[in-house]
Amino acid sequence: MVELMDAHQDNTLYKAETVVADNKYVTIENYLSCHDRAVKAHMPDLKKAQENRSIKEGIYRDDKFTYDSQSDTYLCPAGVRLKRKSLHKSRQSLDYQAPKKECAQCLLRPQCTRNKSGRTVKRHLRQAELDLMRTQAQFTEDRRDLQTQQPDCERTRSGRHLMERTFW
């Protein structure tokens, strides 16, 4: 998407203020590149799409876990602290995990995890910026832009090719 924004600026001599994109372009990198350039990103929420997968059906979503920035831990719905376990440099994320013993004895375990080692929560190193961009994606204006995106693209394409029939 960065290349597309650069090409737009080169062709029009104007910096893009808003980007409208479908699921194909919804990545963490694209969210963050829009944030870094102060560009409004009208894109579907990637987190919601990931959470709707059937493998996670019946399991608590990550938003049920509260992040405490002072202690750099998460608090699970049962009140257990998940501490930082590992750093994934390539994904630029951290894993937080509850103690295995506490997880194994927890009454909420069936709703929390199916993993034998206990529940793990991932946090991106730039999670605050991602949360801000995800919040912006829920505004009415953003949703409206997403609904009209494809017809607008089709109109532009048909006009470029001098087609009489358009979607007006």
pLDDT at 11 over 70: yes
22 occurs within a structural domain: yes
132 occurs within a structural domain: no
> Does one domain contain both 74 and 37?
no
Assign 3-class secondary structure to 102-162: HHHHCCCHHHHCCCCCCCEEEEECCHHHHHHHHHHCCCHHHHHHHHHHHHHHHHHHHHHCC
> Does one domain contain both 36 and 73?
no
**Beta-ladder partners of 19:** 41
pTM higher than the cut 0.75 = no
* pLDDT tens digits, 129-165: 988 888 877 765 655 665 555 544 444 544 555 554 4
133 occurs within a structural domain: no
53 occurs within a structural domain: no
16 occurs within a structural domain: yes
> Does one domain contain both 39 and 63?
no
35-44, 62-71, 89-98: segment of lowest average pLDDT: 35-44
pLDDT at 19 over 50: yes
> Does one domain contain both 74 and 121?
yes
Domain that holds residue 116: 58-125
Average pLDDT, the chain: 80
> Does one domain contain both 91 and 120?
yes
Q: For the chain, how many structural domains are there in total?
A: 2
52 occurs within a structural domain: no
Give the span between the Cα atoms of 159 and 25, in whole angstroms.
Answer: 24
> Does one domain contain both 114 and 146?
no
Within 8 A by CB and 6+ apart from 26, the residues are 43, 44, 45, 46, 49
- Tally of CB atoms within 10 A around 79: 9
> Does one domain contain both 64 and 105?
yes
